[in-house]
Each structure stands twice: as C-alpha cells, then as structure tokens.
Amino acid sequence: MCFDFREQGNGHKDCETKYNFEPEEKMSSKGKVESMRVKDVNTFELTPGLADALSASLDASYLEYFTAACSGRSTKEAETRIAAIPEEKRYLTRVLDSLDSAFADFDTETAMLDLPHMQNRKPEAIKRYLEFRLRQFKMLLDAVEDYVGEKYPATGGHS
C-alpha cells in the first residue's frame, strides 16, 4: 500500500492512499502465489513478508512517522529522528541498492532462456508480478520527480 501524507491546516498530516491498487497475487521467494487484498488506510496489517521487511530494514523512526501521520498527531519528532539516520541505513538506500543488485547484469535473453523452464514461478504469475513492481517503481519515480521539481526547479537554461 502506498501512503500519501498531506499537510492539513492544523499543522498535522492526513494519511490517504495515492494509488489504490495491490496485486491480485503476490509471488513469494518460494514461488508460492498468495492472495492479497486492499487494506483500509487506517489499518496497517503486517503480513509475514511485510513484517519481516519492516523489522529487518526500516528504522523505528519511519514507523513512528507513519503511526503519527495516520493518527493525526505531529510527525516532527519522527522527522527529526529520520533526518539523523545514516544514509546507509535509509529506506531509499535499500531500494536503490536492491535495484543495483537486481539489474547489474540484466539482460532479457537470459530471462527468456529461463522462462520455459520455470516450475514454481509460472510465466503468467511472473508477468503479473513484474507489472505490479513496475507500477510501484513508477510511483517511486513520480515521487522523486515531484520532489526534484519542487526543490530544484528548472531554470529554463542549459545545465
């Protein structure tokens, strides 16, 4: 689920979904396809995979931020703690490093050689999974693009 935190007039951020989709099926590391459903934004249910990912990779300050934002409380303390997180322990660093690992030796020919021989992960499920990850990647790209556009506006000249 993607959360979008909008500033309200009272200085608090309101929690809402920016994109309302989740995959009909999710591919786990074991190749099993599991059903997923759209969750109510006010309910943050930890599935086993999500719980592992959050506890292994997210600093507690991020979770404090989400909790405060969704409950209408101030996020300032959590934002201060997030600012102090070393870059190598940041969420975005983990995402970028994962993309590096996944695509460092990317080539479609090798993937095409594997497709006919996939037993646990069927090509149709792989396609749906990649489509979902593409939508997630596009959401991340859009967010970064919005930030860059706000913080580093184009001057109209050449770089």
Q: Produce one character per residue of 26-42: b if its CB has 16 or more CB atoms within 10 Å, e if not.
A: bbeeeeebeebeeeebe
Provide the pLDDT for residue 155: 78
* Displacement of CA 155 from its chain's centroid (Å): 30
Query: The tokens 């983990």 sit on which residue?
Result: 94
Average pLDDT over residues 59-78: 92
pLDDT at residue 63 is higher than 70: yes
- Is 19 within 8 Å of 3 (Cβ atoms)? no
pLDDT band, residue 130 (cuts 50/70/90)? very high
pLDDT band, residue 56 (cuts 50/70/90)? low
Over pLDDT 90: what percentage of the chain?
53
Overall pTM surpassing 0.95 (yes/no): no
pLDDT band, residue 64 (cuts 50/70/90)? very high
**Highest mean pLDDT: which of 39-43, 46-50, 134-138, 150-154?**
134-138
Q: pLDDT: is 17 or 10 the higher one?
A: 10
Q: Where are the domains of the chain?
A: 3-151
Average pLDDT over residues 34-61: 58
Q: pLDDT: is 97 or 47 the higher one?
A: 97
The phi and psi torsions of 100 (rounded to 5 degrees) equal -60, -50
- All residues at 6 or more sequence positions from 108 whose CB lies less than 8 Å from its CB, including other chains: none
